[in-house]
Amino acid sequence: MRPRRQELLQALQDAATPEAMAWLVESATPDEARMFRAFSSAPRHFPHEPIGYGSWTQAEAARVELLLAYSGTDADSYVVTCDRLCQAADVRELVAFYKALPLLPWPDRHALRAAEGVRSNITDVFCAVAHDNPYPSEHFDDVAWNTMVLKALFIGVELAPIVGLDERANPALMRMLCDYAHERWAAGRTVSPELWRCVGPCADDAAIADLERVIATGTPEEKEAAERALASRKES
């Protein structure tokens, strides 16, 4: 789901106390140091509780509003401010920041930052970029995209919530995923059935052989995933 600033703010207003909303209005500032302080202390006014808008919490929505209200004057300085914010951020601050990627001004300028989020080994931070977030599918090149998908499998988080998963299937990713499956099999480990979804559309002969192997020897869940993958194959 693509978040919209006005909808997010409305959901926050419906959930939060009037005192907290007054604090938020007072705290909107073009001063970087004051914005950082407000961004960090937002949970003292807005608890980490869901607001019924996507997976957003009060604290996350308030933090995003502070970040958007700050906005800055030009793309270069805004990117520097975002880097400085992330450099000193705790886990939940990073999650709020990365969930906000599709809302930030100068959207083309945050791809490197988003790739940095994908490098995190903190599952929640990784998922803030990878899950339910349209930013990667719109701004990542194939290298960054493929890195993200493979890492999701590697750290054991679901692929299904990745936005654009089918549209961004590509031959390089197909090859990486099949190699990964062979590594897992060689070690006597299981492979997530979700993997085959990204293999199907671009499957080459070797990948088709892998899918047929899964259909012949896999669990019912794996078989179903492999059959669906074969059916999704684009004829070249």
Partner 1 sequence: MRFIDPHIHCISRTTDDYENMAAAGIVAVIEPAFWLGQPRTSVGSFVDYFATLVGWERFRASQFGIRHYCAIGLNSKEANDEALAEQVIDLLPRYLYKDGVVALGEIGYDDQTEAEDKYFRAQLELVKDTDLPVMIHTPHRDKKRGTIRSMDVIEEHGIDPSRVVIDHNNEETVQDVKDRGFWAGFTIYPKTKMGNERMVEVVKRFGPERIIVDSSADWGKSDPLAVPKTARLMLERGVSEADMKTVTYDNALAVYGQSGQIREADWADAPGIDQRQLFEGNSVLRGQEPQVAEGLIE
91 binds partner 1 (CB under 8 A): yes
Stretch of residues binding partner 1 (CB under 8 A), selected from 11-19, 117-125, 201-209, 224-232: 117-125
Burial class (CB in 10 A: 0-12, 13-18, 19+), 106: middle
Contacting residue, 122, 143, 206, 209, with partner 1 by CB under 8 A: 122
Minimum distance from residue 20 beta carbon to partner 1 (Å): 15
Asked if 11 touches partner 1 (CB under 8 A), the answer is no
What is the enclosing helix (H) or strand (E) of 20? helix 18-27
Burial of residue 44, with CB atoms counted within 10 A of its CB: 0-12 exposed, 13-18 middle, 19 or more buried: exposed
**Interface region with partner 1, contact rule CB under 8 A, candidates 35-43, 107-115, 181-189, 224-232:** 35-43
Cα dihedral: 114, 137, 194, 172 (round 10): -90
Does residue 89 belong to the site contacting partner 1 (CB under 8 A)?
Answer: yes
Nearest of 164, 236, 148, 155 to residue 197 by alpha carbon: 164
Of these, 29, 55, 71, 123, which contacts partner 1 (CB under 8 A)?
A: 123
* Closest to partner 1 by CB, 43 or 164: 43
63 near 93, Cβ under 8 Å? yes
The residues facing 50 across adjacent strands are 57
**Alpha-carbon distances of 105 from 146, 160, 183, 195, 226, rounded to whole Å:** 25, 28, 41, 34, 41
Is 92 a residue that touches partner 1 (CB under 8 A)?
yes
Q: How far is the CB of 81 from partner 1 (least distance, A)?
A: 13
What are the Cα distances from residue 179, in Å, to 53, 56, 159? 38, 36, 18
Contact map string, positions 43 to 62, toward partner 1, x by CB under 8 A: xx------------------
Cβ closer to partner 1: 146 or 192? 192
Residue of 11, 61, 65, 93 that binds partner 1 (CB under 8 A): 93
Quick check: 156 binds partner 1 (CB under 8 A)? yes
Q: Which of 79, 150, 155, 159 binds partner 1 (CB under 8 A)?
A: 155
40 makes contact with partner 1 (CB under 8 A)? yes
- The CA distance from 127 to 34, in Å, is 28
Write out the residues near partner 1 by the rule CB under 8 A. Answer: 33, 36-37, 40-41, 43-44, 87-94, 121-124, 155-156
